[in-house]
């Protein structure tokens, strides 16, 4: 995401309703500045009047389907403080402000799993929870992997888990994988057959 878009305090867009142009203005009042996101009170002029809502501004993130060989993927076991569980997930991470998604994918794959990839192929993107959260998730397939040493951050407790493609999809279907980005990424990968 472009840094200026992330930092805007005022946005204007035009909505066409029944051949009539209505100017829509947004303004943000900061409530919290955290390490990886901001929470703002956003006020927007709509057709029915002013509306206000708390919004989480986030620079975006990446998730990587790491193809170890034609039959196996590298998932991770990741301790998540928010849900007090260790979840099975795709390697993933937050974009630095202004960072290109494919460069973040290369960085996060290396940091979390130790793998370097010869190819980083875009798979798709989606908003994770657009009712309250601005975060856009960018999905990639990493191929041609070479294993090195991970570079985990101090607050990360991550372990690689190599599984077959079929097992990964079965884990989504039977609920062993319950992380939304991982479910979306694996199902996209399986549907598009980017092996």
pLDDT value at residue 11: 53
CATH number, domain with residue 151: 3.90.79.10
11 shares a domain with 83: no
What pTM was computed for the model?
0.84
Q: Where are the beta strands (DSSP E) in the chain?
A: 10-17, 20-33, 38-46, 49-57, 61-69, 72-80, 85-89, 92-94, 115-127, 136-147, 158-164
pLDDT value at residue 12: 52
17 shares a domain with 103: no
77 shares a domain with 45: no
pLDDT value at residue 8: 44
73 shares a domain with 52: no
pLDDT value at residue 74: 98
Per residue in 68-97, pLDDT tens? Answer: 999 999 999 999 999 999 999 999 999 998
What average pLDDT does the structure give for the chain?
89
Helices (H), the chain: 3-7, 101-113, 165-174, 180-192
Please name the residues in contact with 2: beta carbons below 8 A apart, sequence gap of 6 or more.
98
**Count of structural domains within the chain:** 2
Angle formed at CA 38 by CA 132 and CA 4, multiple of 5 degrees = 100
Which of 57, 79, 95 is a domain's end point? 57
CA distance 14 to 21: 7
78 shares a domain with 143: yes
148 shares a domain with 67: yes
Residues of the chain with pLDDT under 70: 1-24
Residue 85: domain span: 61-192
């Amino acid at each position: 995401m472009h840094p200026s878009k992330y930092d805007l305090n005022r946005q204007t867009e035009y909505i066409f309703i029944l051949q009539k142009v209505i100017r829509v203005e947004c303004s943000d009042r900061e409530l919290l500045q955290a390490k990886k996101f901001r929470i703002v009170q956003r006020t927007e002029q709509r057709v029915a009047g002013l509306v206000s809502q708390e919004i989480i501004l986030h620079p975006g993130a990446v998730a990587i389907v790491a193809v170890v060989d034609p039959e196996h993927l590298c998932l991770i076991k990741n301790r998540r403080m928010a849900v007090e569980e260790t979840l099975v997930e795709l390697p993933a991470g937050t974009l630095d402000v202004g960072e290109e998604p494919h460069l973040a994918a290369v960085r996060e794959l290396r940091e979390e799993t130790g793998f370097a990839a010869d190819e980083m192929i875009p798979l798709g993107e989606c908003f994770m929870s657009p009712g309250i959260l601005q975060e856009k998730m960018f999905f990639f397939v990493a191929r041609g992997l070479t294993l090195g040493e991970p570079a985990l951050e101090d607050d990360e407790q991550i372990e690689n888990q190599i599984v077959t493609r079929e097992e990964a999809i079965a884990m989504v279907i039977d609920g062993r994988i319950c992380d939304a980005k991982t479910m979306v990424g694996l199902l996209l990968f399986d549907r598009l057959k980017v092996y």
